[in-house]
């Protein structure tokens, strides 16, 4: 947990991911970073006297006995024009774990403290280098599963969401000022705030909040990926379909029904869209407790799925069990797939009951790969619901921001109802204040310590 009392400490951490790599970076931030770096850095250039800002200096890091630990590139960035707003030193080492650990140990020995999770970005936020929406965007950039998700995070990192929220809050603050005048000087016709103006301005701001919230659902698949579940009767070819979609043998395929008793999950990328592909246990009546538990898990996954691929063996009529399961599925998020089109007994007419239930139907051969490319295209289209690529300037709030925006919007909606009911302005002012505070919570102007810790604890150490 981040402690504001320790905000003046000089902190250090490895800023690159764990594991071996060509380059590893150690970041130091705080008033002592320059002096600490000077004690362990020996420049290759004999004329070197001190670190010049924003330049890379080549040399070696020495341990406390004067032995060389690594040859490095070292950069000094004075505050406030640094990532954290404080003096910052970054040391570019070779990326071996032992090397990075040894260099970090020397830095800590000289008085720096190991940084907490997200502490560098927390300091950037506290020092006014970024607002809370930008700080959260840093984590979203790091964890972006797709290029589209990276662009969505970059828009927020540039400050567009913070600017939008600040503009909305300013409109509400101006409304609050007019409301105060109307309450204090009710007979002043010049400054009077009419109920129509009050409710109308509130509705306009609420409309802009709704527009921001609409982007949350529209871009969710790009930001978080999508869950696609393969379901159907035993021996319908679910494991073969999973292998065909993956392009490799991941699921065991046999003629014996019931091979998959739990579920298998793998990730695939469909033209930039991340998909969590899940193969569930085949549907059938069973007395086996383990298989029954797998079936129940499969039903839960189908409820959570963005899209269910309901696979049917179309070499024969659908069983009662298969139809019963199909009837429980939402046609809006289910794609019926008739498999085994390569076999002589295949008949598309066997899918008629599914068509009658309102399902979209495709015909494939999972074993031989027939129509798999077309199926992939359709999966992508169905998951995105025709949304296509996000707009380059799309502003998509994250889950926390969306929840706060919802709260602000609901408060404004109730304010408008209060106006219609003739509630006194001094009471309506409380709702306006609550909405303003909610918007401030998004940008971090008014945010509890618990919320801040929750956000920055989700960061990696070093960022």
Question: Do residues 243 and 364 both lie within one domain?
Answer: yes
**Sheet-wide strand order for 23-29:** 41-43, 56-62, 68-77, 88-94, 23-29, 11-14, 113-114
Share of the chain above pLDDT 90, in %: 59
Phi, psi for 20 (deg, rounded to 5): -85, 140
Cα separation, 463 vs 461, whole angstroms: 6
What digits encode the pLDDT tens for the residues 252-298? 444 544 444 456 888 898 888 889 999 887 665 555 555 556 666 77
Question: Domain check: are 377 and 239 in the same one?
Answer: yes
pTM: 0.79
Tally of structural domains, the chain = 3
Residue 456 lies in a domain: no
- Point out the least confidently predicted range of 126-130, 250-254, 414-418: 250-254
Tokens read off for 174: 């101006």
Classify residue 135: in a domain, yes or no.
Answer: no
Return d(Cα 267, Cα 95) in angstroms, integer.
28
Decide if 462 is inside a domain.
Answer: no
Give 319's DSSP letter: P
What contacts 24+ positions apart, CB below 8 Å, involve 373-378?
Answer: 375/245, 375/337, 376/245, 376/270, 378/335
Assess whether 301 and 371 both reside in one domain: yes
Q: Which residue has the tokens 């060389």?
A: 68
Same domain, 353 and 416: no
Q: CB atoms < 10 A from the CB of 267, how many?
A: 11
C-alpha–C-alpha distance, residues 7 and 123, integer Å = 7
463 within a domain of the structure (yes/no): no
In terms of domains, do 244 and 349 share one? yes
Q: Please give the pLDDT value at position 452.
A: 78
pLDDT in tens, 388-401: 677 777 899 999 99
């Amino acid at each position: 947990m981040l402690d504001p009392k320790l905000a003046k400490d000089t902190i250090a951490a490895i800023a690159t991911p764990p594991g071996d790599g060509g380059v590893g970076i150690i970041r130091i931030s705080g008033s002592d970073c320059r002096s600490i770096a000077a004690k362990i850095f020996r420049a290759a250039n004999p004329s070197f006297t001190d670190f010049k800002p924003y330049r890379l200096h080549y040399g070696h890091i020495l341990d406390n006995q004067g032995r060389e630990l690594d040859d490095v590139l070292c950069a000094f960035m004075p505050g406030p024009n640094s990532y954290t707003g404080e003096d910052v030193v970054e040391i570019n080492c070779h990326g071996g774990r032992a090397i990075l650990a040894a260099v970090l140990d020397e830095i800590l020995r000289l008085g720096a403290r190991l940084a907490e999770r997200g502490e560098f970005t927390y300091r950037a936020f506290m020092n006014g280098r970024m607002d809370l929406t930008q700080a959260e965007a840093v984590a979203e950039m790091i964890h972006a599963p797709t290029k589209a998700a990276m662009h969505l995070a970059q828009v927020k990192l540039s400050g567009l969401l913070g600017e939008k929220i600040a503009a909305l809050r300013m409109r509400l603050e101006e409304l609050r000022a007019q409301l105060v005048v109307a309450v204090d000087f009710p007979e002043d016709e010049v400054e009077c705030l009419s109920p129509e103006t009050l409710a109308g301005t509130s509705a306009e701001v609420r409309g802009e909040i709704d527009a921001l919230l609409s982007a949350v659902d529209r871009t969710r698949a790009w930001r978080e990926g999508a869950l696609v579940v393969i379901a159907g009767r035993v021996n319908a070819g679910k494991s073969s379909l999973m292998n065909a979609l993956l392009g490799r043998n991941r699921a065991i395929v046999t003629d014996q029904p019931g091979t998959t008793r739990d579920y298998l999950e793998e990730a695939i990328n469909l033209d930039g869209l991340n998909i969590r592909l899940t193969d569930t246990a085949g549907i059938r009546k069973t007395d086996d407790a383990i298989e029954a538990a797998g079936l129940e898990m499969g039903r839960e996954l189908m409820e959570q799925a963005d899209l269910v691929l309901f696979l049917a063996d179309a070499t024969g009529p659908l069983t009662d069990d298969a139809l019963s399961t199909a009837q429980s599925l939402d046609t809006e998020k289910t794609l019926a797939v008739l498999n085994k089109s390569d076999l002589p007994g295949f008949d598309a007419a066997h899918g008629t009951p599914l068509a009658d239930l309102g399902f979209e139907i495709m015909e494939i051969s999972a074993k031989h790969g027939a129509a798999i490319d077309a199926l992939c295209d359709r999966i992508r289209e169905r998951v995105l619901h025709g949304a296509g690529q996000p707009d380059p300037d799309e502003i998509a709030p994250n889950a926390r921001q969306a929840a706060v925006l919802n709260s602000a919007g609901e408060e404004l909606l109730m304010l408008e109802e209060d106006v219609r009911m003739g509630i006194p302005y001094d009471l309506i002012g409380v709702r306006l204040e609550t909405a303003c505070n909610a918007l401030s919570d998004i940008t971090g102007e008014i945010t509890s310590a618990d919320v801040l810790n929750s956000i920055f604890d989700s960061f990696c150490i070093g960022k």
